[in-house]
Structure 1
Amino acid sequence: MELFIAGGCGEHGRNCFYVEQNSAAFLVDCGLLAGAEDDLPRLNAEQIQKLRAVFLTHSHADHTGALPWLAQQGYQGPVYATLPTLTQLPFSLNHIQTLESLCPCKGSGSVPELPGLQVTWGRSGHCAGSVWLRFEWNGKSILFSGDYAEHSPLYPCDPLRSQTADLAVLDAAYGSTDADWNTCVKKLCVETVQCLKQTQLLFFPVPKYGRGPEILLLLKRFAPNLKFYGDAHFLRQLQQIQLGGPWLLPVPPHFADWVQPDAFLSREKSVVFLSGPQLAGKAGQRAREMVAHRAHGIMTGTPDAGSLSAEMLKNGQMLFLRYPVHLDAMQCRELAEKNQFGRVIPYHSPEIDCPCFFLL
């Protein structure tokens, strides 16, 4: 039997992969393309009608933001994701199912809606709840790495080294960049300290979930005397991390106490963490007031179009520094070369701008 796979590969593609066999199909992720005029997945009405299940690798909008649109198009089947991922979604969904109830981590489970489909998953080290997914369907196997990182100091990863598949869809967000994890982290820490010598406050926008607490941990290790502030969501996230659990690596005692509420901003040189796409709260208001006075910031991801972060980046007030939350180029090559994958499709890569359509 043949599988038909269609997906968006690349920065200008779409973060969803459609897999069909015998007029039944499932979807891996259903994201929005940030900053694009047409930001929706390339799925037609016939494909949506054939969908029996949707699987999510993690909660970030470029992997989940189009789910409300998919429901509006008539999809009423289950959405499978880990409990942390489902908790982090900013919208409600019907028919949600946890991967934990379908099968244990690195164990196999049958998908009721798709006879013959077996799924295995493991933690991918990108954020709490993030996973890689491996499917077997009537003699064919496909591996989706999701956004995958093996060196996170905070989020555990179940390595893909022993996995095999007829097709592997591998995270390649850093394209041909060969800078390794240690090099990127050292540069980030050094530049943060240098920037603070030029400004009273250094604004540090981070995603709502994921890399922010990691960066805090690394900066604290590098420069223990730095002062940190954060918005309310960032502080709540630190409290949850302090409690630990299977989605987290151990943190130092009093980890959550390293950061003070942004309402208590002092005149000391400080790093201010702001979570989510907008600079919000008192720190956000302070940032806007300081833009005209050459306030500085550091971005580790792509800012939303029209945001204050994008404006500061354009004006030279926001420094972009890569923080490694994906496979680097060398790791991606090693996985492709050393694992038993019949075919490898890179995704999330800025060097790839094409949808892929093929039979397996």
Structure 2
Amino acid sequence: MQLYIAGGCGEHGRNCFYIQGDTKNVMIDCGVIVEEGGNIGYPELSDEQIENCELVLITHSHGDHVDALPWLFERGYKGDVVASKFTFEQIPFDVNNAVNLEDICPDGKGEYKGIDITWGRSGHCVGGVWYKLEFDEKVMFFSGDYCFDTQVYACDEIIGKKADIAVIDCAYGKKKIDYQESCFNLIKRMRELFKKHKIIFMPVPKHGRSIELMELVTKNGLTAYFYGDEHIMHEIESIKNYGAWLKFIPNTDKFLPHTNEGEQGIVFISDSQLNKPMQQAIAKDLIDKGAYGLMTGTVDKGSFSENLINQGKMEYFCYPIHLSNIQYNSLKNKNVFACTVAYHTEDFKPPNTIKF
């Protein structure tokens, strides 16, 4: 049996892992990478691999994990796609042959097409999961984008697992990222910025970080309203439906559409890189009104977010929603993995094919 890395290692994006077994072939995630210059990079899969793949399992809805699915079907894929109910709801296009994870694996365990599947909540966003798969007498583990330290999102800790191979989030690579220290530094910087700017804008994914940051700000006593664009407001209005994906239901009474910004506050814009025209226009309008930006996620080369940072109109302060190499190694020590692969980082580049 072997793991073929079609993307996601030695780079930040295009996450796609292909398991070639004795009796079946399975894929985990199928995302894209936006390269410098705006070109889209797709998983490095052959026509034969796509034709022979029987099942795709998705960890969560972010584009670097799912946006190559239409391309995959165009290339001839005919199998099923498994993901959580909320992941399918968040994906901005219809997914062919969709199978809800909760239907085939209620209570976190089940069997589908001869594969034993165990899953848990990854803490990264609503609907985000990790997987343990077993078939052809081998056990494989995929952490998805994993974060045990969270404000609001529930996470099933990865501990005491056994696998022949494990692909583990290591997005922060060799950077020394501590969750509590990062939260302290971010709040400290927000307090400083609010002395100079009435509005702070924060580019974030459509699903995930806005709810976490809202709770972090509220918990630390900052006087601020929260504003969101259309996509963010839809996320906030859906909170009451998220149930077991959250530790608790946060108070959203001070969350308003971004067109209503008046009081001191934070505007969440639903595009981390600000490359989409509508979200870019919101950022430009806010800057013209005296707002300042804070970026809390990875900055893509050539993105509009990078341009704003270079112009001194926005700056980067990490809010951790992934693992660093230190945390990656700590997670390894809490489990029994015969072989581990660090993904989601440019700092480590394993071989494209790993036999196990």
> Does the TM-score normalized on the shorter chain lie above 0.5?
yes
Aligned residue for 2:187, secondary structure, equals: helix
What is the match of residue 91 of structure 2? 89
What per-residue deviation string (whole Å, max 9, x for no partner) do you get for residues 159-217 of structure 1? 11121111111111111223311011111111112122222321111100001110011
What is the match of residue 269 of structure 2? 274
Amino acid across the alignment from 1:110 = E
What per-residue deviation string (whole Å, max 9, x for no partner) do you get for residues 67-98 of structure 1? 01001001021000000001100111211001
State the Cα distance separating 1:106 from its structure 2 match.
Answer: 3.0
Instruction: Summarize the Cα distance change of 1:12–1:299 in structure 2 as closer, same or farther, 3 Å threshold.
Output: closer
Aligned partners of 1:188 and 1:321 also within 8 Å: yes
Instruction: Summarize the Cα distance change of 1:121–1:127 in structure 2 as closer, same or farther, 3 Å threshold.
Output: same
Aligned counterpart for 1:71 among listed residues 65, 70, 73: 73
CA distance in structure 2 between the partners assigned to 1:29 and 1:282 by the alignment: 28
What is the match of residue 209 of structure 1? 207
State the Cα distance separating 1:237 from its structure 2 match.
Answer: 1.3
What is the match of residue 45 of structure 1? 47
CA distance in structure 1 between the partners assigned to 2:282 and 2:96 by the alignment: 39
State the Cα distance separating 1:304 from its structure 2 match.
Answer: 5.6
Amino acid across the alignment from 2:265 = S
State the Cα distance separating 1:283 from its structure 2 match.
Answer: 8.4
1:30 aligns with 2:30: yes
Aligned partners of 1:133 and 1:143 also within 8 Å: yes
Aligned counterpart for 1:102 among listed residues 101, 104, 111: 104
Structure 1: gaps (5+ residues): none
CA distance in structure 1 between the partners assigned to 2:44 and 2:151 by the alignment: 36
TM-score with structure 2 setting the length: 0.91
Structure 2: gaps (5+ residues): none
What is the match of residue 2 of structure 2? 4
CA distance in structure 1 between the partners assigned to 2:80 and 2:181 by the alignment: 42
Aligned partners of 1:231 and 1:262 also within 8 Å: yes
Aligned pairs for 1:259-338 (under 5 A) are 259-266=255-262, 268-277=263-272, 278=274, 285=281, 287-289=283-285, 291=287, 295-303=291-299, 307-338=303-334
What per-residue deviation string (whole Å, max 9, x for no partner) do you get for residues 97-127 of structure 1? 01111112432x2222xx3x21111111000
CA distance in structure 2 between the partners assigned to 1:12 and 1:353 by the alignment: 11
Matched-pair identity in %: 36
TM-score with structure 1 setting the length: 0.90
Instruction: Report the more deviating stretch, 188-197 or 307-316.
Output: 307-316
Amino acid across the alignment from 1:348 = H
State the Cα distance separating 1:345 from its structure 2 match.
Answer: 0.8
CA distance in structure 2 between the partners assigned to 1:67 and 1:355 by the alignment: 24
1:134 aligns with 2:137: no
Instruction: Report the more deviating stretch, 28-37 or 168-177.
Output: 28-37
Instruction: Summarize the Cα distance change of 1:342–1:5 in structure 2 as closer, same or farther, 3 Å threshold.
Output: same
What is the match of residue 231 of structure 2? 233
CA distance in structure 2 between the partners assigned to 1:303 and 1:232 by the alignment: 23
